[in-house]
Amino acid sequence: MFKEKRITVTGGKGFLGSHLLKRLEIQGCGHVKIADLPEYNLTNITDIRRMYEETNPEIVIHLAAKVGGIGFNQEKPAELFFDNLIMGTQLIHEAYLHKIEKFVALGTICAYPKFTPVPFKEEDIWNGYPEETNAPYGLAKKMMLVQSQVYRQQYSFNSIFLLPVNLYGPGDNFDPLSSHVIPALIKKCFDAIDGHAGKIEVWGTGLATREFFYVEDAAEAIYLATKFYNKSEPINIGAGFEISIKELAELIVQITGFKGNILWDKSKPDGQPRRLLDTSKAMKEFGFKASTDFQTGLMKTIEWYRNNRHIVR
């Protein structure tokens, strides 16, 4: 029966969205539509209502977001807060009014407190304020969790809230103005190779740690949660490992073949000190466990960029 459901994916033209669409196609879902720019501006209530009328979904998977790395978060905190808050709030409310069967909300690891005990457990999500550089984004996305829970409580509306860790993979955003750390480092290395530069500059001390989640694994997790999970308690989805930014940079330098040095700009922020998710609840609730080894995923990502960098920014 799930294969016959009418599914609308917001942000379906984006990095994660394109991989989720492939996963849904592989699973035989034949009634999937995309709600994304320029057809729909999901910060605009008129476009949201038109989207629900035109795509007529039974299930909505909300991936659309305004998002970027630490520099982008520092430059545009108000836009990140407003756009993500207004998208989530209005999409969920209109989903309820349109009697949508299920709403799948994608949150962010940035919603967790700055000093969350490692590994991050879902019950710790309210035990402190997020890391300052990404708090506006993280808090805006976290409001979907509150809305999901109270709409279930008052209206019996079926929505779920997933907490993905940092994504990476083929087709990632390599724009230096808004990219995250993996695509940013990959681009820096290739640009340095092309320009015969002897060094690349990386923000921070390199001591912060991150967990990275291969995008195809993320698509599988979202598919399984959409099909099987029907509670409003938040669920972590990730790979369950951490690596320091220093180790990450050295690994990317090695795989890309850049022969120069890494210069650490310690005047720039590290962001959250550590990130590592406890993903046991995803396994328990809908049988998900990440399957892509990090080095394998990184090599696939670098190879994709090597072959496509002439057509991406």
Q: How far is CA 148 from the centre of its chain?
A: 19
Cα–Cα distance, 5 to 23 (Å, whole number)? 15
Q: Which residues contact 204 (CB under 8 A, 6 or more apart)?
A: 245, 264, 265, 266, 268, 269, 270, 271
CA angle in degrees (0–180, nearest 5) for 31-34-36: 170
Query: Phi, psi (5° rounding) for residue 23?
Result: -65, -45
Two structure tokens written together for 178: 């808004």
287: how many CB neighbours lie within 10 A of its CB? Answer: 12
Q: Which residues contact 150 (CB under 8 A, 6 or more apart)?
A: none
Taking alpha carbons only, the member of 245, 247, 290, 235 closest to residue 268 is 245
Taking alpha carbons only, the member of 74, 62, 138, 131 closest to residue 102 is 62
- Please indicate whether residue 214 is annotated as part of the active site: no
* Cis before 38? omega within 30: yes
DSSP type of residue 222? H
Q: Is 275 left (phi over 0), alpha (psi -120 to 50) or beta?
A: beta
Query: Phi, psi (5° rounding) for residue 33?
Result: -125, 160
The single residue of 137, 168, 223, 229 carrying the catalytic annotation is: 137
Q: Tokens 């209005």 label which residue? A: 90
Bridge-based pairing state of the strands 59-62 and 166-168? unpaired
| Residues taking part in catalysis | 137
